[in-house]
Structure 1
Amino acid sequence: MASLLIFVTLLHLVILAVLFIATMEKFWWVWDDTESSDLWYNCRFDNETEGWFCATSDETEWLQAVQVLMVLSVVFSGISFLVFLGQLFTMSKGGLFYLTGVCQVFAGLNDFTASLIYTLHYKEILKDSRELSSGHFGFCFVLAWVCVPLLLCSGIVYIHLRKRE
């Protein structure tokens, strides 16, 4: 039981870290090694200063929806972890982690919706940026999609997990 508890806890922390990176890092759309776009900024690498110059993205309704859903996903996954810790120490023997699982599944659904919106509407989101045909989805976009099944599966595991002594 202890090894399962450690595995579930580490899995949750890894998912939360990856989800946070996917939300905050600057590589949702990449044109080349010197220009990228994320949910918050459009960035270019400046060779003179050897640093990134970032300007705020033009906010469309689709971009705002993706931003809100990704932030909600991180928040619900964080709440899920805190609820898990609370239930772990206060729940009676034999109790199920329903609330933790429901919060985690809800985080997964938010992440799924945000990733799907970005997939279907990236042309509208990046409309004022460079030519889209020369770019591709970045690793943060991939991380967001990787988190979807991980969040949903861990939520289901939490729902079936029973506290034992």
Structure 2
Amino acid sequence: MACLLVSLTVLHLGTLAMLLIATLEKSWWIWKDSQITDLWYNCFHDNSSETWLCAATSDSDWLQSVQALMILSVVFSSISFLIFLGQLFTITKGSLFYFTGLCQGFAGLTDFAACLIFTFHRKEILNDTRDLSRGRFGYCFILAWLCVPLLLVSGVLYVHLRKKQ
């Protein structure tokens, strides 16, 4: 039981860290190695000063929905962890962690929705006249997709986890 509890906690914290990185880092779409786009900024690398120069992304309804869904995913996962800690000390012996699993499941579904929207509406989100075949998805987008099954699996594990003394 203790091993399962520790591994589930590590899985939860790992996915929460991956969600934060996917939401806040600068690599959802890469045009070339010197130009990247994320949910918040368009950046390019200035070779003369060796710095990244960033400007805010142009707002579109699709981009705002992806931003909101990723933030909701982080919030649901954070709330789920706090509820888990609270339930760990307050629920009775033999009870299940339903609410924790439900919040974690919602985090997975909102992350899934954000990834799907970005996948299918990237032309409108990127709002660029360039050919999308010259770019590729960045590691933050891949991290967001990796979080989807991890969040859903941990949500199911929480629902089946019983508190033992």
- For residues 3-58 of structure 1, the C-alpha deviation after alignment (integer angstroms, 9 at most, x for no partner) is 11100000000000001100111100001111000000000011122111000000
**Which amino acid counterpart does residue 78 of structure 1 have in structure 2?**
S
Q: Cα offset for 1:130?
A: 4.0
RMSD over aligned Cα, in angstroms?
A: 0.9
- The corresponding residue for 1:34 is 34
Give 5+ residue unaligned stretches, structure 1.
none
Compute the TM-score of the two structures, normalised by the length of structure 1: 0.98
Give the match's secondary structure for 1:59.
coil
- The corresponding residue for 2:119 is 119
Residue 47 (structure 2) pairs with residue 51 (structure 1): no
Give 5+ residue unaligned stretches, structure 2.
none
Aligned pairs, how many? 165
Give the match's secondary structure for 1:6.
helix
- The corresponding residue for 2:160 is 160
- The list of structure 1 runs, each at least 4 consecutive aligned residues, that deviate by more than 4 angstroms after superposition, is none
Query: Once the two structures are aligned, what percentage of the paired residues are identical?
Result: 64
**What CA distance in whole angstroms lies between the structure 2 residues aligned with 1:47 and 1:73?**
36
Q: Cα offset for 1:129?
A: 5.9
**What CA distance in whole angstroms lies between the structure 2 residues aligned with 1:102 and 1:40?**
29
- The corresponding residue for 1:96 is 96
98-107 or 133-142, larger mean C-alpha shift: 133-142
**Which amino acid counterpart does residue 113 of structure 2 have in structure 1?**
T
